[in-house]
Chains A and B, each alone.
Chain A
Amino acid sequence: MLEMNLFFHPKVRVEDFEAAAMPHFFDLFRTARLLAQDSAEAEDLVQEVYLQAWKSFHRFEMGTNCRAWLFKILFHRLHHFRRRWVKAAKEEAFESPEEQASVAAETPVPQEIRDRDVLNALEKVPVQFREVVLLADVQDFSYKEIAETMKLPLGTVMSRLSRGRKLLRQELAAIAVSYGITPPGKQSAKGESA
């Protein structure tokens, strides 16, 4: 059916689509890779996103935010095909709406932390928090854009972000401690009490 739409829009050229959409190829892949089970699933996802985007490109208004549009498709595909996301969405109880930012609870993350450590820590963050953290802190989407992309209330986005960032820092600190890279927050506690 979608190819039929393109038939009625013969002026839509694949070259135009590629010029608008392919610059975001790396960003889409990175996000997909950090949310999918494995690299193969991420590749399938990205491919589906581009094919889906091309099929509905006649509806895309040139000059508007192509990147946000592509990410919206990415998350639509993710949520559509992976039922576990639905399950995750129901686990709102896990989110603490009134997060207490304890001064002493924050554990410093060492400078020496490696990419692999960060990726391992990120993987331990539940996916509903991980996805908003990636959109905000890696892809630099505004909170409002994230809410539109994820079709979530702004408050939920902010809540998940707060929780996700904290979980990531905790995971990173735990990894660092396990590697013996840094003492478990002693310096920080000392500095704060000074």
Chain B
Amino acid sequence: MNVLNFDSKQCERIRRHLDAYLSNELLVETTTEVLRHLESCDACSRELEARTHVREALRRAAESQVPPEALRQSIHRQLRKMQPGFWGGFLDRGWVLALTAAVVVVLGFAATQQWIRVRRGRRIVASVLALGVSDHLQCAIKGHNYPDVAKSPEQLRQQLGPQYAGLLEVVQQKLPGFEVLEAHICSVQGSPRKYVHFITRGRGTILSVILTRREGEQLPNGRGSTSGVSGTVNLYEGHLDGMNAAGFESKEYWGFVVSDLPQATTMQIATELAPPLTAALDAGTRSQALESPDRGPFAHRPAQRTRSSQKTS
């Protein structure tokens, strides 16, 4: 130590760097300067020793703080508890909430789609059943195109023609308590559509059984649209213009039972009629007996709704 070289300002500057020197945070040049000064300054060397001593004392004191072993065990247990198993993460509350939200959205979407499907189906059913109701009202009720005394079965079969004569027996058998007053092929004014029309009387009212080609159109097949099943035939029901209608379909025809009888009665009658009529119509379709050379038995018939036109067949 060179006491003669003692410079308090230099010492002050060096001491400002001592802690950084101990922490090895000084630049190389500053470290060299500190070391050079320490070689020649006993006071600063003692100060460095003192600070080193404080640091060691502090480290020792800190190390005297020993954590309880129970804490380590507790952490270990909790970590094991939190480790996700296959379902562990799945059952996380946030995950469950997200999943629930997704399910609600999907179910909501599905419910909305189903609701739209049902509404659309009901609209289609109503529009198809409206054909039968309209035919019944126009021909039987407003047109009164039936005699007071029932025509003979031979006459009716002749009016129906060979294509549909066989259906008369089915209608008579499946409509106990009803008398077939009239059976003919009827045309709709202003439309190429025609229909086979059985006008019956029973239970104090007039009931129509109507068959018409569906030209490829189809009634919806699903819950909310159908009202029942008879055998393998779906049944549809509707109430239009004061009339109750029940409908069904074969491969190429729609069938309607229309009357002002209660809906349940109308449906019951349709339940009895639909399977044998559908079978008869399908059998006729398969044998081509019902088909005319052009587009079927109705294509060449005049498009007008008159009693005379009915008899052309």
Binary interface encoding of chain A residues 153-168 relative to chain B, with 1 for a CB under 8 A from any of its CBs, else 0: 0000010011001001
Contact A138 B80 (CB under 8 A): no
Contact A122 B67 (CB under 8 A): no
Question: Which A residues are in CB contact (< 8 Å) with B60?
Answer: 115, 118
Question: Which B residues are in CB contact (< 8 Å) with A169?
Answer: 50-51, 54
Question: Which B residues are in CB contact (< 8 Å) with A111?
Answer: 53
Of B16, B23, B50, B59, the contact of A108 (CB 8 Å cutoff):
B50
Which of A25-33, A64-72, A78-86 is the contact stretch? A25-33
* Bound: A55/B68 CA distance, A: 23
Contact B61 A47 (CB under 8 A): no
Q: How large is the interface on B (under 10, 10 to 19, 20 to 34, 35 or more residues)?
A: 35 or more
Question: Which A residues are in CB contact (< 8 Å) with B107?
Answer: none
Of A10, A29, A102, A133, the contact of B67 (CB 8 Å cutoff):
A29
* Bound: A111/B53 CA distance, A: 7
Any chain A CB within 8 A of the CB of B78?
Answer: yes
| Chain A residue nearest in CB terms to B47 | A106
Contact B50 A46 (CB under 8 A): no
* Bound: A51/B54 CA distance, A: 34
Any chain B CB within 8 A of the CB of A93?
Answer: no
Nearest-CB distance from A5 to chain B (Å)?
A: 9
Of A4, A18, A158, A191, the contact of B76 (CB 8 Å cutoff):
A18
Binary interface encoding of chain B residues 145-183 relative to chain A, with 1 for a CB under 8 A from any of its CBs, else 0: 000000000000000000000000000000000000000
* Bound: A108/B75 CA distance, A: 42
Nearest-CB distance from A83 to chain B (Å)?
A: 25
* Bound: A172/B54 CA distance, A: 9
With A111-B53, A122-B58 in contact, is A14–B23 under 8 Å at CB? no
A-B complex: 3 closest residue pairs judged by Cβ atoms: A7-B89, A118-B61, A29-B67
**Interface set of B (CB-CB < 8 Å, partner A):** 3, 8, 11-13, 15-16, 19-20, 23, 25, 42-43, 46-47, 50-51, 53-55, 57-68, 71-72, 74-76, 78-80, 82-84, 88-90, 92, 94-95
**Interface set of A (CB-CB < 8 Å, partner B):** 1, 3-4, 6-8, 10, 13-14, 17-18, 22, 25-26, 29-31, 33-34, 43, 46-47, 50-51, 54-55, 99-103, 106, 108-109, 111, 113, 115-116, 118-119, 122, 133-134, 136-138, 142-143, 158, 161-162, 165, 168-169, 172, 188, 191-192, 194
- Subset of 5 A-B contacts with CB under 8 Å: A3-B82, A43-B67, A143-B25, A165-B51, A169-B51
